[in-house]
Amino acid sequence: MYNPDRCKTGIGELDSLLNGGIPRGNSVLISGSCGTGKTTLSLEFLIHGVENGEKGLYISATEISSKVMKNMVPFQFFREEYFDSGKIKIMDIPNIYSKLNLKKLEFEQEDIDRLVNYIGEIVKNDGIKRIAVDSLTSICYRLRTEEKIRDFIIKFEEIVSKMGGTALMISELLPNAKGYSQYGVEEAVADGIILLGNLKRRGDLLRTLQIIKMRGTSHSRAEYVMDITPLGIMLSPLLKGWTVNQ
Amino acid sequence: MIQTSEIKRVFDENDVVLIKSSINVYTKSILELVNFGLENDKVIFYISATVPSTVFKTIFESTGIAHDNIYFIDCTTYSFDITQDPNIIVVESPTMLETIIIKIMYLHKISKQKMPDKSPMIIVDSANSLSIHNDLGILSEFFHVLITMVRPTGAKLAILTIMEQLTEDLSHTLELISDTVLTE
Ligand SMILES: Nc1ncnc2c1ncn2[C@@H]1O[C@H](COP(=O)(O)OP(=O)(O)OP(=O)(O)O)[C@@H](O)[C@H]1O
Ligand SMILES: [Mg+2]
C-alpha cells in the first residue's frame, strides 16, 4: 500500500522491518566497517527511488564515482540510463570542493555554509528527493570539531526535511568500533541508524543488518542476516539456535 | 522406492513432507521426486548437503531428466568454480542456514521473473547431513523460518532423510515441523 509519509527503500525486506519504509524527511546513518555493503545499499535506494518517480543525488567522496558505477553493473537493479539521463545525479566531493574553492584542510564556519548551501541549491533546483552521502565520515574529516560536524549535519538535515526528501549518510566504522560513527556526534544528530556488520559464528562470517534507531516509526530491532545477491540486498532472520528437547 | 502415485497423493494434500527413505533406494526416491516436480509444473530448488550438485546434474542428464528447471543450492563444494553454472549457487558451508534461506528466496524471485506460472518445489537433501553440521535447535528454527517464508509462494517442501541414519531426536524434530511423513 502506498503511504506518502514513508520512503520505501525497495531493499529486500527492509521496508517491512521499518513498518513501511523510512519516514520521509529523515536523514539516516548507514554505519558499517569496510565492505559491509554501504555503497550497494545506497545505490539500490537511489535507483528504487527513480522507479517511484523520485530523483536522486549521490555524493561520492571515497571512490571515484565511475568506479562505483562499474561495480554496480552486475546487479539486476542497476539502470545506467538513470544516471545518464540525470534522474540520479552524481557529484564527486573533490569536484565540489574545487568548484567552491574550498582548499583548507579544516573548514571554517563559512565554508560549511557554502557547502551546505551548494548542496541545498542543487537539491532544490533539480527537485531531488533522495540523497546518499558516501561518505559522511570523509566530509567530517574536514570539519574536525564536534561543533562543526553537528552544525553541518543539522543544516544538511534541514535541507532534506524541507524538501520532503530522505537521505542516507554513510558512516565508516573501524572493524572493532564501539559506537555507530567515528566522532560520536553523527549518531546523536541522525534521525536513524542502520548498522551493517559482520558476525563470526563457528568459523562462518555472516553479513548482518540491524536497525538501531529510526525517529518517527516503530521498527524491528533484531539482527538480520544480509546477503548481497545479483538482485540486490536480501535479508533473513538471524537464527538463534535455541535447543529443543532439553 | 517411493511410488509416484504416493508422492502425488501426499503433495496434493500437504505442503511440507518429511520423506524417510531407505539408503538402498535413496537415489531412486530422489529421481521419482524430481520427476514428479517437473511433471507437475514445478521449478525445483535442490539443496545439496550430501552429494555435490554436479553429481546429481550428471545423474539427471544420464537419466534424461531435463534440468533447466532445476536449481541447486550447493553447500558441499567449498569452491566457487562451479558458480559459472547459472543453475548452481554455492553456499560456503552447511552451517550458513540463513544464507540458504536467502538463496531460496532469491531463486524464487528469479524463477518468478522467468516462469511466472511455476511454483517452487524445494528438496532438502538431506536433513541428516544438515544435522551433522547444525544442532537440532537451530535446524528446527531453520525449517520453521523457511516454511513461514515459502508457504505464501505456494511452494512444496520435501525434507529427505535416510531412514537408517535417522536418530530419534532428529526424527521427532522433523515430524513436528512437517505436515506429514512419507515412509518408503
Ligand atoms: N556483484 C556482487 N555480488 C555479490 N557480492 C558483491 C558483488 N559486488 C560486490 N560484492 C560484495 O560487496 C562488498 C562491497 O560492498 P560495498 O562496496 O557496497 O561495501 P561498502 O560498505 O561500501 O565498502 P567500503 O567500506 O569499501 O566503501 C564486496 O566486498 C563484496 O564482498
Ligand atoms: Mg563504499
* Domain boundaries along the sequence of chain A: 6-195
> What residues does A223 pair with on adjacent strands?
A210
The Cα-based distances of B120 to B45, B89, B175 in angstroms read 7, 16, 22
Q: Give me chain A's average pLDDT, please.
A: 94
> What residues does A167 pair with on adjacent strands?
A27, A131
Q: Region B147-160: what's the mean pLDDT? A: 95
Domain count for chain B? 1
Task: Report the residue among A39, A43, A44, A134 best suited for mutation to probe ligand 1: largest number of ligand atoms under 8 A from its CB.
Answer: A39
Q: Region A131-145: what's the mean pLDDT? A: 95
- pLDDT at residue A245 tops 60: no
Task: Identify the domain containing residue B55 by its residue range.
Answer: 4-183
State yes or no: ipTM above 0.85: yes
State whether the beta carbon of A38 lies less than 6 angstroms from ligand 1: yes
Backbone angles phi, psi at A214, to 5 degrees: -155, 105
> What residues does A23 pair with on adjacent strands?
A6
Dmax (CA) for chain B in angstroms is: 41
Cell 530491532 -> residue: A221
**What is the residue with the minimal CA distance to atom 5 of ligand 1?**
A228
Higher pLDDT, A64 or B133: B133
Q: Can you tell me which atom of ligand 1 is nearest the CA of A40?
A: 18
Residues of A in contact with B145 (CB under 8 A): 236-237, 239
Locate the chain A residue with the closest alpha carbon to B144: A239
Does B111 reach chain A within 8 Å, measured CB to CB? Answer: no
Q: Region A101-106: what's the mean pLDDT? A: 91
CATH number attached to the domain at A6-195: 3.40.50.300
Contact B159, B18 (CB under 8 A): yes
Q: Region A117-129: what's the mean pLDDT? A: 97
Output the domain CATH number for residue B175: 3.40.50.300
Cβ-nearest to A236 among B93, B98, B134: B98
Quote the percentage of chain A above a pLDDT of 90: 87
